[in-house]
Structure 1
Amino acid sequence: MTQSPHSGAAQASSPAPRRSPFWPTGLPAEAHIPRTSLVYNVEAAARRYPGKTAIQYFSRAIRYAELHAQIERMAGYLQRACGVGPGDRVLLYSQNCPQFIIAYYAILRAEAVVVPANPMWLTDELAHVAGDSGARVAFAAAELYERLAPLHGEALPHVIVHDYADMLPEPAQEADGPSVPAWLRERAPLSARAPAGCTLVRWQDAEAAGLAPLPHAAGFDTLCMLAYTSGTTGHPKGCMHTHGTLMSAAVGSQIWRSNTPEAVFLSVAPMFHLLGMQNGIHAPLYLGATIVLLPRWERALAADMIERYRVSNWGAPPAMLVDFFSQPGILERDLSSLAFLGGGGAAMPDAVANMLQERFGLGYVEAYGLTETAAFLLSNPRQRPKRECLGIATFGVDARVIDPHSGAELPQGELGEIVASGAQVMRGYWRNPEADAETFIEIDGKRFLRTGDLGFIDADGYFFMRDRLKRMINASGFKVWPAEVENLLYGHPAVHEACVIAAKDARRGETVKAVIALKPGMQGRDEAGAEQIMQWCRERLAAYKVPRLVEFVEALPKSGTGKIQWRALQEAENAAPARAVE
């Protein structure tokens, strides 16, 4: 194993990445990634398409020239009023809104480092990330400032707050666009005063200062973002990304998908997360495309936006798409503009993929990535996707499957840990060499990231994931991977969502438990009972994989990114006493 970021000599002499025999027709073997900072993408788009809509926020259209000018002014404020210099970390704490995008690129323009914060975090979680990153400046939505306020002081002296309502169209203009939710019109009171020696400034006042930024010198290899992981094994860790790692994934994904500047992206996945950030900000701004922006998930509003603004591209987690396409009246909506539907974060159940294809003529293109890989790593080719599949290694990516204990590479078809090397892989964890030592391994002179995901490669070079390395149920010595059982359950006509966890069993050690949310109207139906669902599974699964326990809930818990929080369900189950299950 190695803790060093990379070794140029080793990389140069190592074997070239292996390619699937089903590499997409018409795509080059290598993608030429711009050797510039991300900021240049907005500058170039503003010069090329100054009057084109960059961000559609309900009926408010923000043109590229306006977007670029706002980024410049806010970057000038950061540098000249807040003392932000190259490499300084700046916290960004907000739900999706135009200010999120402007603040993100203003931080980059100031040659600083963005620290995205989950808007669901409370004060203690914010304190860890602010303290670990050393951020001294923060952008925060006014509605969230109360949680940040205890940190506002000597360690975090400067805070710039914004209201979502500030970028909305005037009420008189709403007739020209989708209805704005009432909560967005509400302005959060800001009666607090900044502590002595600190500043608390509203967005419009910072922008009105009209301060010009210094010349931009950041480049491809400049650190630009610390993305904190979800912290499933302790405190969240900061993944160090450069302009180059983010650019490699964002640009590579658009070449892979053959997107053009005329694409229209629905941006509703949370922007603090790499899926929403890359697909909803960096990729469309690189293209000079249009972002149709939603602050938070509302399925009826998403349908309005797709219809009205002719959305062509939508990247979303499966749970979001399941909810969207199950809403009343969806068959009557005009979704004909949708040309690409894809995402990752969890496997798309085969039954749902079939429904999308049969009812709407939409294929779902699954891809795979991590916070540590700037999202885009593996992807299905658009012309030849496989179901419940991560896809093949994309431009410059060397992905393999190894024995998680010995590190030895495994042959096709054998289950092991997926590892990957590529230009989009983070430089390491922020100030955490111990985590680097656990996460990186050297193979054939190259530095590979250990993903912690179990999978295998088929004869065509496609990768399939079976589960997380640590999410395995051991039922009397038989290994059960929850994802396999969950995918089957999604095919049951009464099941809306399912999560499979381990339950303590006094005789078997562990047994399989399914936590299920039923489709509307299925509660109390004969075919939707616990025993009926278990019998349905017995007809389709090996006996040791069949759920022995079924619990019904109104809805499964989800994270801010739409992922089902299996860990929360597992921890609750772990607290229950063991019982003997027949």
Structure 2
Amino acid sequence: MIVYEAPKWVPQLPNRPDNIPIGDFILNPAYGRADPNKSNPPYVCGLTGKGYSVTEVASRVEFAARAIKKVLKVDDINKGGQAAGFSEWEKVVGVYSINCIDYLPLCYAVHRVNGITSPANAAYNADELAYQLRDSNARALFTSVPLLDTALQAANAEGVKIPKENIFLLPIPDVLTTEEMRRKAQGFRTFDDLVEEGKKLKEVELLSWGESYSREKVAFVSYSSGTGGLPKGVLISHFNMITNIVQVIEYSKSFRDFTKPTRVLALLPQSHIYALVVINQTEPYAGNSAVVLPKFELESFLKCIQNFKLSFLFLVPPLMIVMAKNKGILDKFDLSSVKYIMTGAAPLTEELSLEMTKLYPWIKVVQGYGMTESSTVVCFTSGIDIWHGSSGCILPGIKCRVVNAQGQDVGENEPGELLVSADNVVIGYLNNQKANDETFIVEHGHRWLRSGDETIIKKSSSGNQHLFVVDRLKELIKISGFQVAPAELEGHLLNHPKVADCAVIPVPNDKTGELPKAFVVLNPGFEASKETAAEIMKWVADHKSKHKRLGGGVEFIDAIPKSPSGKILRRLLRDKERERRKKEGAKL
């Protein structure tokens, strides 16, 4: 067995508490977080500047927990609610909101009563949100004013058990709402209302978690397509997240000074595992402010960097493309405070990394690799050994293997699927034993996560082993950092009366990284015309989130290539598309 681990200069992973919730770890100095008296406010609104100190956030969490306990009708939080006839899976709270400063405090308040939170992509439509709420058995839902209509539709969907009185609003700046939105939101209680209500209620009893309890206690159910298929609930324990936070901190000490509090950009969706762990928990734990923006608009993005003197930008490749192509606009703002840009969620090309370094020489570009199933980060670039195009070195406490198609371990410079074993690898999938069996395997005395990604380990001139992501063995399409499963779109396309068979693959796109393209076999009697293609694209646009639309177009073919067992051979379609683009001189 060939095992790859962190470089020798990376500190050993220290012991971590395994009997506390993640919120205590982030906010309580007893567990190693930066001194609250010397820390910046954990979450600051990038539009208004509003924020709360560490102590104030902790108080808001406690007060909100009292009210949430009352809403969920939980009598005994230390028995999973069993005394009240509730299991832990009847204390799931869905969170469907744009970014805001109370997003994580809400999650901590739910955890405070031994509950579970399930973050949902704010780009979801009602059907997609309903699927997640139904699958996770959510009993309450927190949303924000601009998303209220969609949230209400989902809450009223068949099989969803959320009454109107259990729908709450997270406070956001008024500039993000309209008068009509605010009118519709009247009568719904807000997170602030729950905090005020909690001040009048009795304290929540202390959680009495025994040793190792947080290793198996679910904190978040985040939805991912994993190595393929429809979205699945990923069971992330408190200890999984605590571990990854410590791993990132220890590794980052090689190039970041955590003794001086700073401010970082928190623009990426808080529901996404990258933002949830790396930005909105690791940075506050280190004493820094996560400066929250609700969405990307170039001017507000640049003003935020300038006004708050942000030192670290967490981005995805499509946003870096915007920066590269709009240097004239960026030069009008003072971006001198920025020391690093970290990118993740989708691969960053060597070419773009080098271009950014050339355009903005005072900024170092680093890249990370991870997945929901590893509670985020497996490896990322250290500022002391930047290799453009690489995903950096492995974090402490993580063991990796690279195996070929026959399951044999391979050495440096040989491609194969990445396997990961560590305390940050999640518990598994919710109610999906088949996916668990396919994704998590036990070999050589360790439990391994199959990444579904083809990778190569190479040694840099400094002697450090770097991980390069070559291709995805899994069939996911990455669009602006979001995962889209071809099977989901194919299943929807097959419901169209003109579609006999279909397959969906990714095609390159400068703005989003990739876009879905559909290969379609029509039923007899229908014409393969531009009008039919437009009709099929509209069929997807009318029923799916914006990022799932067929931006790569529709191509009609005679038959979908399949294996003898009936599996779609998307690789052949990708090769076909690559050859076509090559002939046309398009980007591959």
TM-score, normalising length: structure 2: 0.72
Q: 1:227 to 1:34 in 2, by over 3 A?
A: same
Map of 2:166 onto structure 1: 159
Map of 2:106 onto structure 1: 103
Q: 1:386-401 counterparts in 2 under 5 A?
A: 386-401=387-402
Map of 2:263 onto structure 1: 264
Cα distance, 1:232 vs. partner?
Answer: 8.1
1:48 aligns with 2:33: no
1:460-515 Cα deviation digits (max 9, x unpaired): 5322111111459xxxxxxxxx99x96xxx9xxxx777658889799xxxxxxxxx
Q: Do the aligned residues in 2 keep the contact of 1:454 with 1:468 (CA within 8 Å)?
A: yes
Map of 1:238 onto structure 2: 233
Map of 2:378 onto structure 1: 377
Alignment-mate amino acid for residue 28 of structure 1: P
Q: Do the aligned residues in 1 keep the contact of 2:306 with 2:334 (CA within 8 Å)?
A: yes
Q: Do the aligned residues in 1 keep the contact of 2:398 with 2:421 (CA within 8 Å)?
A: yes
Q: Do the aligned residues in 1 keep the contact of 2:247 with 2:397 (CA within 8 Å)?
A: no
In structure 2, distance between residues paired with 1:414 and 1:561: 38
In structure 2, distance between residues paired with 1:377 and 1:311: 25
In structure 2, distance between residues paired with 1:319 and 1:62: 31
Q: 1:21-32 counterparts in 2 under 5 A?
A: 23=7, 25=9, 27-32=10-15
Map of 1:136 onto structure 2: 139
Cα distance, 1:253 vs. partner?
Answer: 0.9
Q: Secondary structure at the match of 1:381?
A: coil
Cα distance, 1:237 vs. partner?
Answer: 0.4
1:158-212 Cα deviation digits (max 9, x unpaired): 52422544xx4xxxxxxxxxxx8x4346572465899xxxxx5333332221233
Question: Which of 10, 33, 49 is 1:59 aligned to?
Answer: 49
In structure 1, distance between residues paired with 2:250 and 2:270: 22
Map of 2:191 onto structure 1: 203
Map of 2:341 onto structure 1: 341
Q: 1:503 to 1:96 in 2, by over 3 A?
A: closer
Question: Which of 454, 466, 476 is 1:462 aligned to?
Answer: 466
Deviating above 4 A after TM superposition, structure 1's stretches of 4 or more consecutive aligned residues are: 184-187, 190-194, 495-506, 567-570, 574-582
Which runs of no fewer than 5 residues in structure 1 stay unpaired?
1-14, 169-179, 195-199, 473-481, 507-556
In structure 2, distance between residues paired with 1:306 and 1:464: 30
Q: Do the aligned residues in 2 keep the contact of 1:307 with 1:335 (CA within 8 Å)?
A: yes
In structure 2, distance between residues paired with 1:453 and 1:276: 21
Alignment-mate amino acid for residue 334 of structure 1: D
Q: Do the aligned residues in 2 keep the contact of 1:270 with 1:561 (CA within 8 Å)?
A: no
Question: Which of 144, 158, 181 is 1:188 aligned to?
Answer: 181
Map of 2:204 onto structure 1: 213
In structure 2, distance between residues paired with 1:286 and 1:80: 29
1:19 aligns with 2:5: yes
Map of 1:8 onto structure 2: none
In structure 1, distance between residues paired with 2:354 and 2:192: 48
Q: Secondary structure at the match of 1:220?
A: helix
1:442 aligns with 2:437: no
Q: Do the aligned residues in 2 keep the contact of 1:78 with 1:107 (CA within 8 Å)?
A: yes
Alignment-mate amino acid for residue 470 of structure 2: R
Q: 1:525-540 counterparts in 2 under 5 A?
A: none
Q: Secondary structure at the match of 1:238?
A: strand
Cα distance, 1:385 vs. partner?
Answer: 2.0
Deviates more, 1:137-146 or 1:185-194: 185-194
In structure 2, distance between residues paired with 1:305 and 1:331: 15
Alignment-mate amino acid for residue 181 of structure 2: A
Map of 2:59 onto structure 1: 69
In structure 2, distance between residues paired with 1:568 and 1:412: 38
Which runs of no fewer than 5 residues in structure 2 stay unpaired?
81-87, 477-504, 522-540, 560-575, 584-588
Q: Secondary structure at the match of 1:377?
A: strand
Q: 1:32 to 1:141 in 2, by over 3 A?
A: same
Map of 2:356 onto structure 1: 356
Alignment-mate amino acid for residue 201 of structure 1: R
Q: Do the aligned residues in 1 keep the contact of 2:519 with 2:556 (CA within 8 Å)?
A: no
Q: 1:103 to 1:206 in 2, by over 3 A?
A: same
In structure 1, distance between residues paired with 2:383 and 2:34: 30
Cα distance, 1:573 vs. partner?
Answer: 3.7
In structure 2, distance between residues paired with 1:207 and 1:268: 25
Alignment-mate amino acid for residue 69 of structure 1: S
Cα distance, 1:337 vs. partner?
Answer: 1.5
In structure 1, distance between residues paired with 2:353 and 2:28: 39
Alignment-mate amino acid for residue 56 of structure 2: E
In structure 2, distance between residues paired with 1:164 and 1:89: 21
Cα distance, 1:34 vs. partner?
Answer: 4.1
Cα distance, 1:279 vs. partner?
Answer: 2.4
Map of 2:331 onto structure 1: 331
Q: Secondary structure at the match of 2:412?
A: coil
Q: 1:286-305 counterparts in 2 under 5 A?
A: 286-305=285-304
Alignment-mate amino acid for residue 400 of structure 2: A
Q: Do the aligned residues in 1 keep the contact of 2:61 with 2:106 (CA within 8 Å)?
A: yes
In structure 1, distance between residues paired with 2:302 and 2:335: 8
1:33 aligns with 2:16: yes
In structure 1, distance between residues paired with 2:16 and 2:438: 29
Q: Secondary structure at the match of 1:188?
A: helix
Cα distance, 1:266 vs. partner?
Answer: 0.8
Alignment-mate amino acid for residue 344 of structure 1: G
Cα distance, 1:92 vs. partner?
Answer: 0.7
Cα distance, 1:147 vs. partner?
Answer: 1.9
Q: Alignment identity in percent?
A: 21
Q: 1:463 to 1:54 in 2, by over 3 A?
A: closer
TM-score, normalising length: structure 1: 0.73
In structure 1, distance between residues paired with 2:127 and 2:395: 38
Alignment-mate amino acid for residue 16 of structure 2: I
Alignment-mate amino acid for residue 314 of structure 2: G
Map of 2:368 onto structure 1: 367
Q: 1:424 to 1:78 in 2, by over 3 A?
A: same
1:200-227 Cα deviation digits (max 9, x unpaired): 5333332221233332335532211111
Q: Do the aligned residues in 2 keep the contact of 1:379 with 1:391 (CA within 8 Å)?
A: yes
